[in-house]
Structure 1
């Protein structure tokens, strides 16, 4: 998120914070962060368009946007490298009531390096759930290692910090992988026994 390959990223991984008591593991409200500022610029206070954008994330498809009353505006917030919004899960007929509490498993929210590091990922193609960040990182590392092994001249050009626009992102990704892969593997192994 901090070092994108392009400025035109519209559907990145989003940081997910549930409201309530994390140790109980259930919630009906959440906040999503790291939405690109371009989403805010394009859709602003149009809840239908913003919701269409959020529906690209399978974990958020059944949610509704939290709007302020009585004006019905969206509560955009600056959140790190992007913007943040509140979402909720409601059920019934109008007036909608808060839904029974949801869990990460119900929605497909991925815990990445620890139980406190929760992410939602977009669907790729016809996938019913988002791609787990660990699997995405593993695929990228496999691609980069294959490139380095089988196309060393191309690899050398890509990591040349003086000439390649991708070099900074690759360097950042590899640094992130040195901490993320072991921490995520440990978290996944100790969580799913």
Structure 2
């Protein structure tokens, strides 16, 4: 049992060895969606909620918005990548993968805080064939310019979110700071590609 779990158990007057016995690894609680989850995960969730007590709802709202933006960005980058070739195609595909991984990291933090992304947080994906997100002239330069605008929006949002999370939730702050770094690196890379397009 981790130090965090022992501390939480002692504060709540419980002892794992007394209540759970040798089968404690199979103990479960229920998550925000009503599904069973391992007790260790439930304890971690309680600790996370205690750390950001008083800021849970606005924090979850901000993280859910960020998740929706990353999920939609992944979709857009993949659509734009299909319309171009060469180095631009590779860059857009890699940006899509980074956006996907970022959305997964945001989901993990949301769940840790006891929340779940709402369907309305996913943003507007557009038509199934991606028509609303196709660059105006279908050129590599146009696709990269669209990607640049998308990434710059992420830089601005993560900068604001990092400032908001500072002093409220160190774990979320660390996550957002890293996502901001990824967006800043992507912006630099796209600018270089545009200059060569």
Query: Is the shorter-chain TM-score for this pair beyond 0.5, marking a shared fold?
Result: no
Q: TM-score, normalised by structure 1?
A: 0.33
Q: Which has the higher helix share?
A: 2
Larger C-alpha radius of gyration, 1 or 2?
2
Q: Which has the higher strand share?
A: 1
Q: TM-score, normalised by structure 2?
A: 0.33
